[in-house]
Amino acid sequence: MPFQIGIVGVGYAGFDSMTPGLSTRELMFEAATRAYEDAGIDPRKDVQSFVCCTEDFWEGISITDEYMPDQLGAVLRPLCTISSDGIIGLATACMHIMSGIADVAVVESHSKISDVVNPDEIASFAYDPVYTHHHFDADPRFLAGMEMARYLKETGTKREYCAQVAVKNKKNALSNPRGVHGANIDKGIVMNSQVAASPLTELESSKGIDASIVFVLASAQKARKLGDHTVWIKGIGWSSDTPVVEDRDLARAEYVEQAAGRAYKMANIRSPASYLDLAEVDDTYSYKELQSLEALKLATKGKAGKMVDAGAFDIDGRLPVNASGGSLGVGHLLEATGLHRTLEAVMQLRGQAGRLQVPSAKRALVQSWRGIPTATGAVAVLGN
């Protein structure tokens, strides 16, 4: 039997650089209320599992999972928090449903990055404390610069092709009501913006924004009873590479290759490039989109850059990639980034993407990366 878990509701709140009027919990309540309304469920009766994806240091509160129940309708209900990206949260919910623990499961993740005064300190603290961390006093993005340099060297990709990713995604975001960092700029402006960690520039680095995103998932049987706009998860996978930065293949996103391999196998996909109608993939940094597309087998090794430059991944191109504007155009959402990509894909598959709509989109891929200095990625294949 094919793998099938239904996405029966989505809701979100925020998508702004700052949300000073609302606490994290109030922001979550708004998102969750919309998701439950969308799914037509009562969280106090109809949900058997709640999953949050948060990280204590981003919250600024330890054992932060204990603060999640009230605003999700999960008081005295089964709830767990996983400190990972939202797509891995979706996978966790799928497992709860497949195991029979739940018929309906809820997944939430959020970013309240505007509450964090020194996010660089937190990202830096993720480097190995004994071996790596203590001898660099640099912005943690030096690792992105090194990955990018290795990627460019090994694939022979032209430097300007990375800039084109930022041009494309920021332009797309201008048509997205959720887009915070949309702009109409050219490659010259991107490459001449300040260098963050060479060769990576500031306009090639996504910037953090606030939002909460909530998904309602249901078993196939239950989903058929809940509304008529179900989007199906057909395959899902995730993978983590070694934390030893020096030992990874920095040119490749091997964890994405692995995660995609599993998701494609579950969804029975042999040639993803022709199967898919659109993809929302990691673009935390410009080169990441190209590296991810190759890992996902949506471009031949070393050819993603040339394809993006030729417009193959534009909204009206061969395979629209980050039609939403991605993280570069919309903004980065910490552990909620994977749910953001999934949200954009679900809107597309429902035909609710407005000016971003890819005509007759039926099959989509979403992929996330947990950001520096991690090597964890997740992939889901969606269809309607």
Partner 1 sequence: MSQKITSYPGHEITSDELKEGKYLDIQYKFVPRYSWAAGVAISRFLDELKEGRIVARKCSQCERILVPPRMYCEQCYRPTDAWVQVRDTGTVNTFSISHVGTDARRLKTPILVAVVDIDGASPGMGILHNLGEVEPASIRIGMKVQAVWKQPSERQGAITDIRYFRPIEA
Binding site for partner 1 (CB under 8 A): 19-26, 29, 36, 42-44, 57, 60, 69-71, 73, 75, 112, 114-118, 121-122, 125, 129-130, 133-134
The residue (of 29 and 369) whose beta carbon lies closer to partner 1 is 29
The residue (of 71 and 239) whose beta carbon lies closer to partner 1 is 71
CB of 335 to partner 1, least distance (A): 16
CB of 88 to partner 1, least distance (A): 24
**What are the distances in angstroms from CA 206 to CA 166, 203, 367?**
9, 7, 16
Contact indicator for 344, 353 with CB cutoff of 8 Å: yes
Contact indicator for 144, 283 with CB cutoff of 8 Å: no
The residue (of 122 and 174) whose beta carbon lies closer to partner 1 is 122
Instruction: In whole angstroms, give the CA distance from residue 263 to residue 6.
Output: 16
The residue (of 26 and 202) whose beta carbon lies closer to partner 1 is 26
The residue (of 51 and 190) whose beta carbon lies closer to partner 1 is 51
Contact indicator for 36, 215 with CB cutoff of 8 Å: no
Question: Which amino acid, residue 43?
Answer: P
The residue (of 32 and 90) whose beta carbon lies closer to partner 1 is 32
Q: Are strands 79-82 and 49-53 parallel, antiparallel or unpaired?
A: parallel
The residue (of 112 and 252) whose beta carbon lies closer to partner 1 is 112
DSSP, residue by residue, 267-319: HT-S-HHHH-SEEE---SBHHHHHHHHHHTTSS-TTTHHHHHHTTTTSTTSSS
Instruction: In whole angstroms, give the CA distance from residue 63 to residue 71.
Output: 17
Instruction: In whole angstroms, give the CA distance from residue 317 to residue 143.
Output: 31
CB of 18 to partner 1, least distance (A): 8
Owner of token pair 């929302």: 280
Instruction: In whole angstroms, give the CA distance from residue 348 to residue 356.
Output: 8
Q: Which two tokens stand for residue 361?
A: 């989109």
CB of 21 to partner 1, least distance (A): 7
Phi/psi at 351 (nearest 5 deg)? 75, 25
The residue (of 43 and 320) whose beta carbon lies closer to partner 1 is 43
Neighbours of 340 (CB within 10 A): 28
